[in-house]
Amino acid sequence: MPNRFIPVSSSQGTKTALQNINHNLMMLDAETYTKTIEGGGSTQMTSGKLPNGRFGEVFYDAGGMPRILIGQAPGDGRPGLWITKPGFNVLEEVK
């Protein structure tokens, strides 16, 4: 189903951007799967329902550490984008 998500642009107001992000996350929530991309013997990316029960995408570094989270914060579910320094697990650092 291409083009099922609403793009979020930098020219939108905060309210509209958050509504679009929430709509996109609800669309993702409606999907009943988690897609994991493996490469080089370790997980490279996880998309959909994450191990913490939230939804989004997690990107892993070469050593298998989750470093980038796009989606819902593990603690309160707020939408966002988080990137940690090397050696820090983004799922544990974001509250």
In a domain, 42, yes or no: yes
Region 12-30: mean pLDDT is 84
Question: pTM (2 decimals)?
Answer: 0.64
Neighbours of 50 (CB within 10 A): 19
Containing structural domain, residue 54: 33-93
Domains of the chain: total = 1
pLDDT of residue 66: 94
In a domain, 13, yes or no: no
pLDDT band of residue 2 (cuts 50, 70, 90) is low
In a domain, 7, yes or no: no
In a domain, 62, yes or no: yes
Residue 32 has pLDDT above 60, yes or no: no
pLDDT of residue 3: 65
**CB under 8 Å, gap of 24 or more: what pairs does 68-73 form?**
69/94, 71/25, 71/28, 72/25
Region 65-88: mean pLDDT is 93
Region 55-83: mean pLDDT is 93
Instruction: Please name which of 11, 13, 8 lies closest in space to residue 71, comparing C-alpha atoms.
Output: 8
In a domain, 8, yes or no: no
Encoded tokens for 93: 């650092």
